[in-house]
Structure 1
Amino acid sequence: MPPLNIDVNQSNISIKELLSLVLAGKEIVLTDGSIPQARLISMSSEKISSSQSRIAGLHSGAIWTSEDFDEPLPEDFWTGNL
């Protein structure tokens, strides 16, 4: 379903009307003339649930840290003489 483009300069639509459209599943793009400025989408209950637990180790190996990660940086770093 393509988004509904609403030009903020030409529309008198209320926030309540926008919310009703978004809750009905419509994606809304607010524009200034023909330039997109913002996108309104519904927040699903899954995305805002604070009770959703994280899974440890889900992306194991995706990030690594070098052995010298917490070593002091060389003086050249601070003086810009790299």
Structure 2
Amino acid sequence: MDAKTISLTQAQTYLATLAVPLKAGEEIVIVQDNTPLAKLVAPTQPLAKIRTFGKYKGKIKMSDDFDAPLPDEFWLGVAKTNDVTA
């Protein structure tokens, strides 16, 4: 697909109207002195939703020992005596 080429001045003046060809799947190349500066394309997937700070406040619980050091058995891979091995 050939991209539509417009000047930087045109892009600044008509930015809002560029949405129509973008929605139709066209690509638009912005040039200055015949040198490409940018290429506008429509997103291929929906943009991520904005995260809301504090949305889950009071809904997540952590144990008091959440940041306590893990036992050596965890790091060394030592099996507990009540573990069943095949």
TM-score for the superposition, normalised by structure 2 = 0.47
Q: Which has the larger radius of gyration?
A: 2
TM-score for the superposition, normalised by structure 1 = 0.49
